[in-house]
Amino acid sequence: MARHFVRSEVLAARPAPRRPFDPIGWLSTNLFSSPLNIAATVLSVALIAKLLPPALDWAIFDAVWVGSSREACVGPGVGACWAFVWAKIGQFIHGHYPVGERWRVDLFFVLFAAGLIPMAIPRVPFKRLNAVYLILALPLVSLLLLYGGVFGLRVVPTSQWGGLLVTIIVAAVGIATSIPLGILLALGRRSKMPVIRMLSIAFIEFWRGIPLITVLFMSSVMLPLFLPPGVDFDKLLRALIGIALYASAYMAEAVRGGLQSLPRGQYEAAGSLGLGYWPTMRKVILPQALRVSIPGIVNTAIALLKDTSLVIVIGLFDLLGIIQSNFADSNWASPATPATGYIFAALVYWVMAFAVSRYSLFLERRLDVGRRH
Amino acid sequence: MRHLLIALAAFVPLAGIASAEAATLDDVMARGTVSCGVHTGLLGYAAPDNAGRWAGFDVDYCRALAAAIFNDADAVTFSPLSASERFTALQGTSVDLLARITTWTMSRDTTLGLNFAAVNYFDGQGFLVRRADGFTSAADLNGGSICVQTGTTTELNVTDFFAANNMTFNPVVFERIDEATAAYESGRCDAYTSDASGLYGTRLTLASPGDHMVLSDVISKEPLSLAVRQGDDQWFDIVKWLHNALLNAEELGVTSENVDEMLNSENVNIRRLLGTEGTFGESIGLSNAWAYQAIKLVGNYGEIFDRNLGAGSPIGIARGLNALWTNGGLQYALPIR
């Protein structure tokens, strides 16, 4: 007869004990537990009471929702001029892309979403095929679709691209190229080969040491002076290269943080199994290091998404740029127009950044990043 | 290394000659569009309209040039340029015409490898005041307080102006334009000073534009001009005479509405302008209907001004210095003959 020192069967789960909801108790523990807490509560409520009604009045109740020109948004007590955003929304999305060709941009958004959304949902199968589509097929198809010149599509030079299209292209290309580049640089920086290590360090420190705005200025103002006349690099391409190199330096440091968190034992264990450098990295080190690096990588990605608005200094119109340039439309110039435009831009950026941030949290939970070694 | 340097040394002057001799008109013809450098967004001068089409005073010069060459006002590739990259864009052949509120100064004209073809807008520093205050000229501002953006030539100009006229004023300086205008609107200053064209734009963004006015006094010179690359006289002539053709059209009463009737005009000046007499278009490498096309598709100088800046636009700038010389302004049409 076997003796059990521990329970051999799992007890049936019981529901949590019900606690009667006690509003006064909840308030006294959460809001009024100490003098400091009471002061903070009173102050917060007073602030909300002071700021929220005017903000709501401005943004919703006194706002102008329909109208065809500035006349609608001028006058005493008029709030936000949403009519301006509504009249210009096509430009905010497509930039100066010719109106008759805007379907090509819309189709690009659909193709992009069709690649990204299934990739992001773990349950959806065919991940390998999906990755090939995202990394190889989509950029090529998008380029042909957006630039044109084939299959009877009109050529639309990149100078006419703009709005959300440019924001998404710059951010997506920047993030997609900087992650692999960053991984290589991070490995290079920890390499035992001095030349590779020195080159990686030099690269990372150079790009981290200069502001992005300088990179963009250099690419658009200085570079043409060095090129022979008649040779003209595409401005969008120059910005893409500059931003990708800049972001890869930051990605490299985020990944290096992950690499350093791994104990030496992992390398030694891989070595004792007879794995070479690349198999060690691919099968043992990187899967663990990248998982730890997710918060850093996402941080850099979100920063990059917002930094795309700097491309306006070189005359590219991303979302913020096209909104700003529309402030100069004399048909819509009014006291409320700039504020409304900026708030709209902030909303769009916030939605995108928040989505990325929530997805990374989901990914962290799924990969169990918080697990202790 | 030495070979490389010799190769470079041989290459650089050649490149210079190549660009100097390049016929811009041939390039434009081959490309099918005029590449035009404009502002990234300035009230009345260059901004996208509701349909996303570029519109504005400077933009219309690009369109008029395209109309004169291609008989198509839309054959323009617009390159929106920031202030810092506008000159390199012109030097680097990525734009053919710079129509971007560029002040014609000697240093720019002589050192930047460009030529100014014409002054299309005479701007200058002015004052924005409240109508209710009853100011009628800059002299009335003696002893008053004036909002101004610091670190600009505007601040120097206003100081010089008051000193030269033995008047005093109380400067209220701000780092940014929007801070200065907000202070003016809240009543901290009697006047706000900046370039006059900008003041009209600022007025539109005030809560009740009708309560404010721009004084007619102008205290500085800002000749905003059209610039082309140095070293291509034919292209320089085309832009210079396009501006003069638009001025002549206004002077002779030729508008986009009546230009077809004017083709039958007996007036020899109109016949020369519209190409029914003489070969003036051919002498600059275009068709003789060059000015007809520009006027028909874009309009004469007065129409362009009114539509974008003047009475026909919400901005409502008075013609002032930009009236024709026959009306007391500075826009003097060189004769086409």
What ipTM was assigned to the predicted interfaces of this complex?
0.77
Residues paired with B174 in a beta bridge: B149
Q: Is the dihedral of CA A164, A168, A169, A171 positive or negative?
A: positive
The total number of structural domains that make up chain B:
2
Residue A326 and residue A360 share a domain = yes
Residue B303 and residue B233 share a domain = yes
Residue with tokens 């900026």: A342
Is B291 a residue whose pLDDT tops 90?
A: yes
Residue B198 and residue B65 share a domain = no
| Any domain includes A85 | no
Residue B237 and residue B119 share a domain = yes
Nearest Cα residue in chain B from A74: B207
Is B141 a residue whose pLDDT tops 50?
A: yes
Nearest Cα residue in chain B from A158: B79
Task: Calculate the CA B42 to chain-centre distance.
Answer: 12
Cβ–Cβ < 8 Å for B120, B100: no
Which residues of A, range 301-320, sit inside 8 Å of B by Cβ? Answer: 312-315, 317
Nearest Cα residue in chain B from A321: B40
Query: Domain end: B160, B195, B220, which one?
Result: B220
| Any domain includes A317 | yes
Q: Distance (Å, rounded) from C-alpha B28 to C-alpha B93?
A: 11
Both structure tokens of A251: 């990605």
| Any domain includes A53 | no
Q: What is the pLDDT of residue B284?
A: 94
The total number of structural domains that make up chain A:
2
Q: What is the pLDDT of residue A252?
A: 94
Residue A180 and residue A263 share a domain = yes
Residue A186 and residue A123 share a domain = no
Residue B210 and residue B248 share a domain = no
- Residues in chain A closer than 8 A to B49 (CB atoms): 329, 331
- Label the pairing between strands B170-174 and B145-149: parallel
- Residues in chain B closer than 8 A to A313 (CB atoms): 82, 84
Rg of the Cα atoms in chain B: 22
State the residue range of the domain holding B137.
125-220
Q: What is the pLDDT of residue A230?
A: 60
Q: Which residues contact B23 (CB under 8 A, 6 or more apart)?
A: B232, B234, B235
Who wins on pLDDT, A123 or B46? B46
Q: Distance (Å, rounded) from C-alpha A291 to C-alpha A277?
A: 20
List per-residue pLDDT tens for chain A, 373 residues long.
Answer: 567 778 888 888 888 877 777 788 888 888 888 889 899 999 999 999 999 999 999 888 888 888 888 888 887 778 888 999 998 898 899 888 888 888 989 999 999 998 888 888 888 888 888 888 888 888 888 888 888 888 878 888 888 888 999 999 999 999 999 999 999 999 999 888 999 999 999 999 999 999 988 888 888 777 767 776 666 678 888 888 889 999 999 999 999 999 999 998 999 999 999 998 999 999 889 988 988 888 899 889 999 988 888 888 877 888 998 998 898 888 888 888 888 999 999 999 999 999 998 998 888 888 875 564 4
Residue A334 and residue A244 share a domain = yes
Q: What is the pLDDT of residue A294?
A: 87
**Contact flag A317-B40 (C-beta cutoff 8 Å):** yes
Residue A191 and residue A330 share a domain = yes
- Residues in chain A closer than 8 A to B201 (CB atoms): 328, 330, 333
Determine the average pLDDT of the residues in B179-184. 86
**Contact flag A315-B92 (C-beta cutoff 8 Å):** no
Work out the minimum CA distance from B231 to partner chain A, whole angstroms: 14
- Residues in chain A closer than 8 A to B205 (CB atoms): 333-335, 337-338
Q: What is the pLDDT of residue B86?
A: 86
Residue A178 and residue A115 share a domain = no
| Any domain includes B253 | yes
Query: Domain end: B179, B205, B220, which one?
Result: B220
- Residues in chain B closer than 8 A to A337 (CB atoms): 205
Residue B179 and residue B67 share a domain = no
CATH no. for residue B81? 3.40.190.10
Nearest Cα residue in chain A from B11: A228
At B16, the pLDDT band (50, 70, 90 cuts) reads: very low
State the residue range of the domain holding A357.
167-367
Both structure tokens of B276: 């029914």
Q: Distance (Å, rounded) from C-alpha A102 to C-alpha A82?
A: 23
Nearest to A329 among B48, B77, B79 (CB): B48
**What phi, psi does B229 have (nearest 5°)?**
-65, 145
CA dihedral A90, A91, A97, A102 (to 10 degrees): -10
Helix ranges (DSSP H) in B72-194: 86-91, 106-111, 153-164, 177-185
- Residues in chain B closer than 8 A to A96 (CB atoms): 48, 52, 54, 78
Residue B216 and residue B237 share a domain = no
Query: Domain end: A156, A189, A204, which one?
Result: A156
CATH no. for residue A226? 1.10.3720.10
Residue B134 and residue B92 share a domain = no
| Any domain includes B337 | no
Residue A318 and residue A339 share a domain = yes
| Any domain includes B143 | yes
- Residues in chain A closer than 8 A to B77 (CB atoms): 157, 159
Cβ–Cβ < 8 Å for B238, B25: yes
- Residues in chain B closer than 8 A to A95 (CB atoms): 52
CA atoms within a 13 Å half-sphere pointing along the CA-CB vector of A330: 29
Q: Distance (Å, rounded) from C-alpha A186 to C-alpha A201?
A: 9
| Any domain includes A230 | yes
Residue A360 and residue A227 share a domain = yes
Nearest Cα residue in chain A from B56: A329
The reported pTM is: 0.81
Residue A286 and residue A194 share a domain = yes
| Any domain includes B164 | yes
Work out the minimum CA distance from B204 to partner chain A, whole angstroms: 6
Helix ranges (DSSP H) in B37-133: 57-70, 86-91, 106-111
Cα angle A112, A114, A118; round to 5:
120
**Within an 8 Å CB–CB cutoff, is residue A100 touching chain B?**
no
At B22, the pLDDT band (50, 70, 90 cuts) reads: low
Q: Distance (Å, rounded) from C-alpha A203 to C-alpha A178?
A: 13
Query: Domain end: B160, B189, B220, which one?
Result: B220
- B21: exposed, middle or buried (Cβ count in 10 Å: 0-12, 13-18, 19+): exposed
Residue B233 and residue B91 share a domain = yes
Work out the minimum CA distance from B336 to partner chain A, whole angstroms: 34
Query: Domain end: A156, A181, A200, which one?
Result: A156
Which residues of A, range 67-96, sit inside 8 Å of B by Cβ? Answer: 70, 74, 76, 87-88, 90-91, 94-96
End-to-end CA distance of chain B: 58
**Contact flag B209-A94 (C-beta cutoff 8 Å):** no
| Any domain includes A86 | no
Q: Distance (Å, rounded) from C-alpha A68 to C-alpha A84?
A: 8
| Any domain includes A47 | no
Residue B93 and residue B241 share a domain = yes
Chains A–B, number of C-beta pairs less than 8 Å apart? 122
Query: Domain end: A156, A178, A205, which one?
Result: A156
Q: Distance (Å, rounded) from C-alpha B98 to C-alpha B78?
A: 10
Residue B202 and residue B161 share a domain = yes
Q: Is A233 helix (H, G, I), strand (E, B) or coil?
A: coil
| Any domain includes A175 | yes
Residue B138 and residue B56 share a domain = no
Tell me the DSSP string of B305-327.
HHHHTSTTSSS----GGGSBGGG
Residue B317 and residue B206 share a domain = no
**Within an 8 Å CB–CB cutoff, is residue A44 touching chain B?**
no
Nearest to A315 among B40, B45, B91 (CB): B40
Residue A325 and residue A251 share a domain = yes
Who wins on pLDDT, B335 or A137? B335
Residue A112 and residue A176 share a domain = no
Both structure tokens of A121: 């949902």
- Residues in chain A closer than 8 A to B308 (CB atoms): 330
- Give the number of other CB atoms < 10 A from CB of residue A369: 16
- Residues in chain B closer than 8 A to A217 (CB atoms): 84
Work out the minimum CA distance from B249 to partner chain A, whole angstroms: 26
Work out the minimum CA distance from A143 to partner chain B, whole angstroms: 20
Cβ–Cβ < 8 Å for A189, A252: yes
Residue A320 and residue A200 share a domain = yes
| Any domain includes A48 | no
